[in-house]
Structure formats: structure tokens, C-alpha cells
Structure 1
């Protein structure tokens, strides 16, 4: 889509140059922040229509859409465990006939044997039809140890705000007169069978500046919520406050957590009477699990002689009595390792470790002499994820995959070898491609790993798509190419099948090497993340694997900051970028929806010292009317109540005013994940492929 000038009238009334917008008064596009504003939605509809008019007529579009839908709806997919409830397993199943999903249950025995006999609990599509809503499943929390009663969360349109209802797992029905909460960004958990921890929107003063619950109350069955007793509260500037419980053997440990910032938490144990006692975890430690009467947490800063990244354990009984016991070491990762996932079963702790971004699974066992460890024999050089663990018995279900090998689900027990339970079928001929891990040298000398996939035997430079995230301690691990990280399935596969190259870059800001990798891109160090991305692109050019102008940058959410910044900084290097559900205007992000919760990551733009460094890389403020600016594609959802749609809308308006090439696609629902079902995901994958081919692929030469 070549930029048009539909906003000329609005621009004519603005005297301030577009590139100088540091205050709200200088921004001519504030009106696009009206999420459901008539004028804003008219503009969205116009951009959507223009994008579809250009891309849906490309010859690859119908083929890619049909193929993507076939892959996403494949009934041979693994029925991943949503949760293990005693001797039963639940799963949410989505396919062509059930686009929103069926929540169902089977016995653990039949599931492990690979022959589950499913019983439907909730048909999400049918529930939506019955109630006249477009429901999206948000999960269930069933009360241990009998797992009879569950708190089910469903979201109209896929927003983070959801509806909570009590459900009876035995009868398969919602509980008449049971616990229910209207749509809100609530924090709800079981205290006991007849009592809930609840934090929700109660009107003025009940939410933080980030839009999450500030208060925690105990709500007794059979009473009005107005009678619920408050047991904890946070401050207005906090991110949120919540309550939860963990069953450890026969003991139920209850907690409340106040989060002053995105990266800090203050935990307290809750007694039966609702009174609390502080848990002496460092504020920046991550609460991971409770096992054998101990709370296990991961350090993010030094504690005594323990380095960041280590797992430590504190005895809860001593804490409940009011003492402050010294922690004991559970696991210490090496310099090349990072702990990415931790889960507990009945008597074991399961730890997924990244070692130079490859996965390993460690089983840890508490004992009188300390913690013993065993590395599980799983395929090397793979991505491993802990899917679920059993509350009774010691079984972990884990998936193993790589870019060229589809996922296999293994049942890993404390005795014997891992057993393959299910595998997804191959969706493409992997022999046509090759994957290699490389390292680029960033501006400050840091070695940045990345995975490069190319058609086997290809010589010389190829158009290349680079995807990265670079924030919030979230590591980017290589997954099967039909599920790479676009929320649209197989884009990277389609791009490779077209004869191009794909890169997954492990830039700083993520958790690939533990806390230090994240901290090196926090706040005033954010430029390191962008420099890492540039380094990967430059490294590919230096090896004659691609050429400037034939590189597309891709990122979602926080990745919107990334791709917007790198496009502004190096328009000579990139020919296009894909920006999904993006953060872009960092001057106003803390005033939009959940934005205030991320100030510990980026900085507070209302503090002059913070804005001084944020101003250097904020994508919106640094957009320029320069020749050869990379073509942009923004995809998002109107109902995203996490990252405001105004970010992408305002960026698109600037591109239009500058006469720059941009494409725009905003679904009406779907929330932060954008697509509400496989049909929408398949369409987006096809649109993105057509965009890449048109702008940096071989077809771009003929445009």
C-alpha cells in the first residue's frame, strides 16, 4: 500500500513539525487513541481496506492462507495438558469445527498411554452462541486436592479483562448460585472451598495506576461481595496486589503479593484468620514454587555469596513462626546457563535450563543433605518446555522440538527413561533447509547468539527476515517453523519455502543468559538491545548472506519498540519491518492502558532524567520524513487492553503524512494475542507473507 494523504486536513491545522512531538499538545493524532471513537475506527477501516486491496490479490495470498489454516487446524496436533488434576488431565482443543475451543478432561492413565478418552466440559463456541458473546478461553483454576470446583475465566473478545464463574468438574456444569465476577482485570484464587482471594474493579481507588487490583479481599460463599473482608492493599503507584494458595503435600500455604513495580514483589504468608507475616525473599527475586515446606525463588541480584540466577529455598514453617531463616542453595546455573522454567510435582522440582539457548531439563530432589540433581536424557540442541507436572506422583510432561523437528511430548518420571506420549506430524520437508547457530559482535563487544535458517545449498545473499523480542526477561527459543513467534503460525516457514532466509536473534533484554542479559537492556541501557539487533543484521551482510534493504525486522509487543527504533536508526539497513500489537509512543505509553506497569523496564517519561534517555530511542518521537524509509506493516486488535491500539494507529498516521509506504491491519477483537481464532491467524500469516514478498522478496524487483 502506497501511503495516501487522508489526514491532510488534520495536519494543516498543526503548526508544530511532526518530528518534534514531545508533549501531548504537539501531537496531532491524539484522537486516534479513542479506542472505539467513530472517527478513529473510520480511519482504521480505511487502512484495513487499503491493505487488503493490495495484498489479497497477490498470487501467494490464497495459497498461504489455505495452507496456514490447514496447519493450524490439523487434528493431529498434540493435545497439550492444560492442567493435571490428581488422576485427570484437562486440555483445550481447537480445530476447524471448534475455533474457540473445547475444554475437556480425561484420565491421566489413558493420557500417558497415548489413548485419551475425552469428556467435554465446556464448548466455548457453543457457550458464546448461547449467550450472544464472542468468548475467548482464559483458563481454569481448580481447587486441590479433590479438584471438584474450578474458577473458569472467559473473555468477551479476548481482552485481558475476563468473566469468572464457578464450575463443577464432576457435573460438567456451572455452579448455580456459585462464585461469579463480572468482566474486569481481576485477581481471583481459592483460599479454601468456601472462600476466595479476590482483587477486582470496585470503582474509584480499587485499581492501581496500571489498571490492576490494588486490594485483596476474602469473599465467603453465600455472602455479597460487598461484605468481603479486606486483608491486604497496595499503593496507587504499584502494579498490582493479589492472593493465591499452593498445596504442598497436605499443607495449604497461602500468600498475598504486592508488586510495587514490574520487577519487584513483596510476599506475605496468610494465616487461617487472614493475618499475614512477611516472607523474607529479596524484592527482585522470582517466586517459583513451594515444595517440601520450602518456598523456592530465583535470584536476580546477589544475595550473600549467591550470584544472580541461582535458585534458593526458605523454610516456610520458620517464617510463619516469625523467624528469618537463611536460605539454602537449590541450583546454581553456570555462566552459559539461565533458568527459564521451574515447576514442582509431589516430591521433585523440575528446572528447564537454557545453555547457550539450547534446552536442558534438570530434576532436583530435596533431602537431609541438601538437593540432589539429575539431568534428564532428552534430545540435545533442542527447545524444551515444561508443559505440566503431576500433583500426585512425580511426572513432568515436557515438549521437545527444534526449528526443523516438530514437537514431541514426553512423560518424564523420576524412575526410568522419558517416554514419548505424542508427536506432531512433519508439516514440511525439513531436508530442504539447514539451521546454524551463529554469534554476532555487538557495539560494546558482547557476543549475541542468533539462529539462521536457509534453504540447503543456497549461495550468496538472500532476502532475510529477522525476528527478536529483547525485553522483560523473555528468552526467544527456536521452535518448529510452523509455530514461530508471530501469533500467526507458519509465516517463517512460508518465507523459507519461497527461497528466503529466516533469523531468530537472541538480543539483550531477554532471559537467554539470566538476569545480566536482561539488565543490560533496562532503561538507560535500552540501546544495547537495538545495537544487538543491528549487529546481527550487519553480521549477515558481512558474510554475504543478505544485503542492505533486503532485511525485514520483526517484533511483537515490546518488539514494537525494537523494530520501530532500529528502522529509525538504520533505514539504510532494513527494507521493511513487521510490528505486532506494538508499543511505539514512549512519551505517553504510561498513560495508556497497562503501560504504567512497565516503567521499571523502560523508564518514566514524566521524569525529565528518564525522558532524556528514552527520547533518544522512542520510535514515535524519532520517526522522520527521510527517503528510503523501510516499509512498515502493523497488525493489532481494537480490543487489546494491554498495549493500546493508539500506538500503531498514530505511527501509521505519521507514515501517511510523510508519504511513506505502510500497511495496516487491525482486527476488532482478539486482545493482545490479536487473532481470536485460526481463521484470523491464517489470514494474518498470508497478509504478512504477501507484504514481505512485495517489499523485500524477489517480487520486490518487479514492483
Structure 2
């Protein structure tokens, strides 16, 4: 079940962002001609940089790459950091995270021998052993070699009840667009008569073993302005894609329309969500008799989490007073109602409050097993797990997990009460628990050894006062014997958008290549994220976004005031939406940092909605086509606020040619301007890897080594 379908389909990620190019309306052309900021500076960054694989663009990219690689790889620390990172990512003793279904634990494994990865499975009993015996199913390395393709595995979706039949998603070089093929685990083959869908940003659900509901690129004018499908059709086994039966259409101005299913007792209900904006959706039920889709009576800012004992569970991102009810639910609440009654009568009955957060708590995850709803809650940015059950009312107990950092449910299945829970902290390596939520049995089954020496590391949590007085929490991870004289090299990390929560997590590469070298790490839980629920996120939407940047600045100023560091030794890092944050920090407070690592960023905020999936993020950033929102975007857009004569810190841009989510032109155009103005910058564009730059583990080690070499040069030397 897609707990937060828009996050799953559109973000990502990270994080978060995706795409397709969009024709430019005449109104926008006129507006650009009338805007002073769009005359000189925009033309200084030529649009040929937006040609992803254009010869002129890649020639410039390769020049920048060569210069940066020569400079950073010549530093003896680069090889040290690369070797350490490669050893960590290729380690044989990392946890083989898996999903449990149909009696097997399925795992996708990558190491130095399986660079692209190996899909495999084992039994639950065998999985609990230190060295499980695995049944190898599909080698992506072998498939790529056989077909001479740059395949990257993007996951599989298997038919419930017969988990051997799966639709495998394969990406060319790590793009979000995938080719989909039907695979049979039992025979370990792609089925000759199986479902095959060409490369596109496709979403689907199994109606039954012989039928799919599909949203994909159906041809001309079948994608939204954001590059996602808005037309859903039903495809029968053996039927050509062109003969699929139309089920539902949204509009091209939507973000997209995506099919999914929920299970009500033994009945599989076909559903779809129409995302009008990134945060506003309509949910529909598709009756089996082929009659018209019926819209559920839900508020626009809501996520359907699934069905439990007949109750449709909802996560609310706004206040809701259902028609005909005396109850009012608040933003951040979990609520439910009797789905069977609604299907029969189209009336809401037995409306229930499942969970209500306080000001410093929020729902971090909702998982539904056979007999329990598992809530992962963030309480002052610390994780706890609660098990909920339903009779005539909801009841719950706290799961007695060891209190040792962040927790997440890594595997859950509605056909079983066995879940896997991962636990980690800044200094405690990942530990995996098998939990039977029905009898409360908790068993530690996997853990990784320490990747760095944390014996001298301490973790503290502080609060900084932002410009408007809001208290912004942040973590400081440091060696216990540092001197408070402003000399400590410090890396501050943040994201600040799309209701994404940043929690304490274990990173062997960060520990080995930064903390062990004497570096301090700061994680800032700024607004725009989800650490304290929907209101924490919505405080920084659109033209209110400056509070996010004020929060980041406040944390930086606070650690300087504590003499943990100083501007000379303070660097910042962020990716995707966090890359935009880095760009704004670079232009708004260049005096506060000495190094900026800007990963897969948005930087041109006056054209972002025309690049790949940019139109889908208008609900987050605002639209350049709306005058007051454009006026604000002009003020924050990093590309349009560079002072040719300004005094700026060094900045390293990291992006990917194959990123079809956030266009590499953002980084290209800003690098182009900085080069013209004579400002110091480094640039590295990975040819493969997509938005997360994760096509292979060796590339991950290379990218991180470049980043930590850059930071060491600027903050330690």
C-alpha cells in the first residue's frame, strides 16, 4: 500500500523532485520580456545548457569535470576517502535489508562482485542466520551485459497471493523513467507472454493476475505539464498496449493520476489518486463492474494509508470537518471510517480518531500488518513505535524497543504480522529486528559492525532562535574533547522542504571521512520539513519560504556563537530541494560559510517549472506565472541573485546527466555564470546515476570522496 502516494511517486527521495519539458506559454514569454532580472542575467546563462545531452552542453560539462577532478583527485586525501568509502559500500557484512512476503525474504544486493545488483531470496528462518543461504533470482549485471544496456534496478511489484509473478522496473542509467517487464521467480525468467511496458514514468496496480490498471505515456498529449501520466487504462494479458481500455482521465494541469489498490477483507479494491497539485488530491474507487469511478468524500490534503479491519485510515494535512459529522479533526491527525458502509451507501459512518499529535510530535510512518497498525512517531525528533488495534474503538500499546536512536519499519505485509524494524543513530550502527506485532516478540537478527571509531564521539541536541522567534532544533555530533575556540571544521546539513523529516542516522562514510578526521557534523531540523508535522512544513510554503532560510542561518549563527566553529571553518551541504537551500545560503549569507556542497540542485527558480518535473512543485515553491509569487521567487532564486562583484565562498556543484527529476541545467547555468564572473567553484556531473546518483557503488564512493576532499581543503587546511 502506498502510504503517501505522492511522496512515493513524485518525490522520492529524497527526497523529492521529477520530469518532462514543457512548451512556453505566450503569457510567460511576455512576462520574461518585462522583468529586468530576466534580461541580462538570464541570457548570460544560455538555454543550450538545458539540452541534457547536447554536444555543446556536454563539452562544457566535461571541461568543468576535468578541471575539478584534476584538482581534487590530486589531493592525497581523495584516495584515502575513496578507498574508505568503497570499502564501506562494498562491505560483505552490511545488512541485507529485505521484504518478507509469501514465506520468503527478498533482498536486492550490491557489492564489488554485483555492481548493478542481484535480486535474491531466502526463507525467514534462514534469514535470521548469520550467513543465510540465498536463492539467486536475477542478476542485473548479467542482464545488462547480455542486452548491452546500462540497466539500473528500480524495484518490483509482485502479485499478492502469488508473489512469484512480479513486474520488474529497469532504468537506463538511473533515470526515473523505467521499462517494465513481467518476471517469474519460480522459473527465474522474464515471461515471453508476460506484461511488457516501454520506457516511461509508469505507475500501475495489479487488478488480478491477468489484468493491470496502468498510468503511462500513451502518446501525444497524454502527460501532464509535470511529465506524469493523467490517463489510466486497463490492460489484459496478451493485449497490445494500444488496445488498453480507458478507465479515467484527469487534466494536463494535474501533477498526475496514479492507480493503486487496497485490501478490504478478502476483496481487492481498485483505487486511484488524482494529484491536482503536489499536496492536493482526489481519491477514487473503481468498481469492478466497470461503472464510473466514485470519488471518496475526503479533504484535498490527505493521504490514504490503507484499510485495517474495515476502517479506511487517513493521514490529514489540514483541518477536516466531514459533512454530516459533529467531529473536527486537526492537521496532523490520523482518522478512519467504515469503508464497507461507504462503498454501499456512499455515506461516512463510524468516524474515529486514531492519533492526535502534540506540538513536538508527528507521524513518521504508518504500516499495516495482518492484525496491527504500526505507527512510527517522531517525538521531539526521536523515534518510538506504537501498535494500534481496532474493535469498536482504537486502542494502542507502545512497542518496547531499545531506546537507541531512529527507527523505521523496513518491511511489512498485510498478509503477515512479521515486520522488520531498523534502528540506528549518529554513532550506533544499524540493527535490524524481527518483530511479531501480534505476540510482541522482538528478536535482534542483524547488525553491522562499526564503520568508524565513535568511542570519542558525543551527540547533543540544541535549539536556535530563528528570526521570528521560532525554536529550531539541531543536533551536533562531535569529538568530546574539542576546543570551543571557533577552529573546528564543521559541516551543517539540512533539507527544509516537502515535509521530509531528517532524523539521526548512521553513516559510515560521514564517520570515517569527516568525524574521524576531527570534523563536526550538524543536522538542522529547519521548517519546511516534517519533523513536527504538517504545520512545520506549511510554515515555509511558497512566499513564506524565507523562514526556512532564516532557520538555516539561525543554526549557523548559533553554533558560531557557541564557538563550536567560525565562518572560516563552517561548510554546508544539501541536495535536491536542499540544493536550492544551498544556493540561497550562498547568495544570501556568503559571509557565514567557507564551503558549500550543492547536490542535484534547483537554482533557476524562474524557469524551474519548465524543466522536467518542475511544474509538479509549484505547490511547494509557488509559480513564476503568478505575479506576487514570481516577485518572491526573483528575490530568492540563486541564479538571479549572484553579484558579479560579490565575495562568495567556494561552492562544489554535484549533479547527474541522467537525472530526469531535477534538470542538470540548474547546476550548469549557475556554474556558467560563476565562471563568467570569476567566482571560485568546482563542478562534477556524473554521466549516470539519476537523481540519487546511485547507478553503482563505485560511483557513490567517488562522489563522496570528491565532496569530503573539497570540504577538507576549504575547512581544515
Structure 1 stretch 88-97 or stretch 271-280: which is displaced more?
271-280
SS of residue in 2 equivalent to 1:219 = strand
Instruction: Confirm or deny that 1:221 pairs with 2:244.
Output: no
Structure 1 stretch 643-652 or stretch 85-94: which is displaced more?
85-94
Instruction: Confirm or deny that 1:257 pairs with 2:251.
Output: no
Map residues 430-579 of structure 1 onto 2, 5 A cutoff.
Answer: 430-460=454-484, 461=486, 462-482=488-508, 490-491=509-510, 493-579=512-598
Q: Tell me if structure 1 keeps the 8 A contact 2:452–2:516.
A: no
Q: Tell me if structure 2 keeps the 8 A contact 1:407–1:424.
A: yes
Partner of 1:385: 408
Listed one character per residue, the Cα deviations across residues 625-665 of structure 1 (whole Å, up to 9, x for unaligned) are 24430111011110100000000000101110111110100
SS of residue in 2 equivalent to 1:67 = helix
Partner of 1:189: 205
Paired with 1:27 and 1:173, the residues of 2 have a C-alpha distance of 52
Map residues 288-687 of structure 1 onto 2, 5 A cutoff.
Answer: 288-304=305-321, 305-326=328-349, 327-368=351-392, 370-414=393-437, 415-460=439-484, 461=486, 462-482=488-508, 490-491=509-510, 493-687=512-706
Paired with 1:683 and 1:446, the residues of 2 have a C-alpha distance of 39
Paired with 2:583 and 2:544, the residues of 1 have a C-alpha distance of 17
Deviation at 1:121? Answer: 1.2
Partner of 2:9: none
Match of 1:84 among 86, 92, 100: 100
Paired with 2:415 and 2:126, the residues of 1 have a C-alpha distance of 16
Map residues 229-268 of structure 1 onto 2, 5 A cutoff.
Answer: 229-268=245-284
Listed one character per residue, the Cα deviations across residues 449-470 of structure 1 (whole Å, up to 9, x for unaligned) are 1110111211122121100000
Deviation at 1:612? Answer: 1.1
Instruction: Confirm or deny that 1:123 pairs with 2:139.
Output: yes
Aligned residues: 673
Deviation at 1:550? Answer: 1.9
Paired with 2:548 and 2:240, the residues of 1 have a C-alpha distance of 50
Q: Tell me if structure 2 keeps the 8 A contact 1:667–1:675.
A: no
SS of residue in 2 equivalent to 1:216 = strand
Paired with 1:296 and 1:109, the residues of 2 have a C-alpha distance of 32
Paired with 1:568 and 1:517, the residues of 2 have a C-alpha distance of 25
SS of residue in 1 equivalent to 2:455 = helix
SS of residue in 1 equivalent to 2:335 = strand
Deviation at 1:22? Answer: 6.0
Q: Using structure 1 for the length normalisation, give the TM-score.
A: 0.93
Structure 1 stretch 320-329 or stretch 507-516: which is displaced more?
320-329
For structure 1, the 5+ residue unaligned runs are 1-15, 483-489
Listed one character per residue, the Cα deviations across residues 595-652 of structure 1 (whole Å, up to 9, x for unaligned) are 0000000001111121011111111111112443011101111010000000000010
Listed one character per residue, the Cα deviations across residues 73-107 of structure 1 (whole Å, up to 9, x for unaligned) are 111011101x3222111110111100111011112
Q: Tell me if structure 2 keeps the 8 A contact 1:258–1:267.
A: yes
Deviation at 1:24? Answer: 9.1
For structure 2, the 5+ residue unaligned runs are 1-32, 322-327
Q: Using structure 2 for the length normalisation, give the TM-score.
A: 0.92
Q: CA RMSD in A?
A: 1.6
Paired with 1:445 and 1:399, the residues of 2 have a C-alpha distance of 35
SS of residue in 2 equivalent to 1:586 = coil
Q: Tell me if structure 2 keeps the 8 A contact 1:87–1:109.
A: no
Partner of 2:226: 210
Paired with 1:430 and 1:55, the residues of 2 have a C-alpha distance of 27
CA spacing shift, 1:313–1:278, aligned 2, 3 Å: same
CA spacing shift, 1:112–1:390, aligned 2, 3 Å: farther
Paired with 2:331 and 2:497, the residues of 1 have a C-alpha distance of 18
Deviation at 1:27? Answer: 4.5
Partner of 1:4: none
Paired with 2:602 and 2:101, the residues of 1 have a C-alpha distance of 38
Match of 1:45 among 36, 44, 62: 62
SS of residue in 2 equivalent to 1:61 = helix
Paired with 1:366 and 1:226, the residues of 2 have a C-alpha distance of 45
Deviation at 1:404? Answer: 0.2
